[in-house]
Amino acid sequence: MRFYVLTLFPDMIRDGFQTSITGRAVEKGILSLETVNIRDFSVNKHQRVDDYPYGGGAGMVMQAEPVYLAYESVAKRLTKKPRVLYMSPQGKVFHQRMAEELAREEELVFLCGHYEGIDERVLEEIVTDEVSIGDYVLTGGELPALVMMDAISRLLEGVLHNEESAEFDSFSDNLLEYPQYSRPQNWRGKEVPEILLSGHHLNVEKWRREQSLLRTRKRRPDLLETANLTKEDKKFLAKLTEL
């Protein structure tokens, strides 16, 4: 997977991405990251890339041409027109299924806005997907791009050490994950649930599945409507409703 990020703050992207698990994946060659500084494509002698909005109003708007030239500097090296994801509070809200779908692409271009956003005309020209990371407004698209790249990366083969860890994560079945415990067995008087010490693999799995269902029912009941539920899961949930 190759990530290209068009941004005014390339250091923020590089610093955020090239640490920990994603950084290790870059070193292993599973992922590559290229940042493109939109300011390098300024058409202004003072290297400005923003201007006042037509029609008046507060704030500044990123101009179309530098964004277009930054995009073109990437697109001309690719064999097909890439998916260009514009980070925007007005976009479709990002979720795990979207991460899974995007993880199947070979390359993705992220476009990060700033100020009041980007001139609509260049968005119409180059953007294939407008994506939001939630219903709140941030100062720029860099954190959303990092959030998305992180979620996509961990789904790629070889990025996580233990292949199973993504399989049972929250949302993988549209259910939240069961609670996790580690050593010590007794922490400040609180014991690890006994079943996890039993060594009985099937019972542990059953308990975890039930915990998953209980959590989802309590915290995110909306997810149950589209969750992948087995007959046993449905029976378990039905019993809870009877109580």
Q: Does residue 30 sit in helix, strand or coil?
A: coil
CB of 97 to ligand SAM, least distance (A): 17
Q: Which is nearer to ligand SAM, 50 or 173 (CB)?
A: 50
Q: Per-residue DSSP letters for 94-115?
A: P-HHHHHHHTT-SEEEEE--BT
For residues 82 and 144, which CB has a smaller minimum distance to ligand SAM in the complex?
144
C-beta of residue 83 within 8 angstroms of C-beta of residue 105: yes
Closer by beta carbon to ligand SAM, 145 or else 155: 145
- The nearest distance, CB 136 to ligand SAM, in angstroms, is 6
24 part of the active site: no
Nearest approach, Cβ of 124 to ligand SAM (angstroms)? 15
> Residue numbers of the site for ligand SAM (CB under 6 A)?
87-90, 112-114, 116-117, 132-134, 136-141, 144
Catalytic residue among 10, 89, 142, 144: 89
Are the C-beta atoms of 95 and 171 separated by less than 8 Å? yes
Active site residue 89: yes
Selected catalytic residue, list 169, 208, 215, 217:
169
Largest CA distance in the chain: 72
Q: Annotated catalytic, 183?
A: no
72 part of the active site: no
| Minimum CB distance to ligand SAM, residue 58 (Å) | 9
Strand duo 32-37 + 2-7: pairing: parallel
Q: What is the DSSP code (8-state) at residue 123?
A: H
CB nearer to ligand SAM: give 41 or 178. Answer: 41
The two tokens of residue 172 are: 């993988």
Residues in the chain, overall count? 243
- CA 168 to centroid of chain Cα atoms: 17
Which residues are catalytic, by number?
Answer: 89, 116, 154, 169
